[in-house]
Structure 1
């Protein structure tokens, strides 16, 4: 798979399951745990954060 395909898969996962999308993008870093907290507060904040992680290509 090329890097572009992986980003598309991560983006889809970030929308459907934000913590999984964040985990695949950044691993077990502070951003993953921030995403868990945001998802507990509501699904939409978690989605926004996970999509932001994928869109900016954050790494840990």
Structure 2
């Protein structure tokens, strides 16, 4: 895991859509993460980490 990925994961824990946005921009992954975050903070974190690490 590189330093960029580490920073994205830290941001994904604090603000999930921001971490995903840094990697994918305003793509589908960002909007799914934003929806999960609005529905519940924990699902947003889980999805963001899944997308960034996986």
TM-score (norm 2): 0.92
Which structure carries more helix by proportion? 2
> For the Cα contact (< 8 Å) 1:25–1:53, is it kept in 2?
no
Deviations 1:15-49 (Å, cap 9, x if unpaired)?
11101001012111011001111011000000001
Q: CA RMSD in A?
A: 1.2
Name segments (4+ residues, structure 1) moved above 2 Å. Answer: none
Structure 1 CA distance, aligned partners of 2:21 and 2:39? 18
5+ unaligned residues in a row in structure 2: which ranges? none
> For the Cα contact (< 8 Å) 1:10–1:21, is it kept in 2?
yes
Query: May I ask how many residue pairs the two structures share in their alignment?
Result: 54
Shift of residue 54 of structure 1? 1.0
- Rg comparison, structure with higher value: 1
Deviates more, 1:3-12 or 1:39-48: 3-12
Q: Which one of the candidate residues 21, 24, 35 is aligned to 1:23?
A: 21
TM-score (norm 1): 0.84
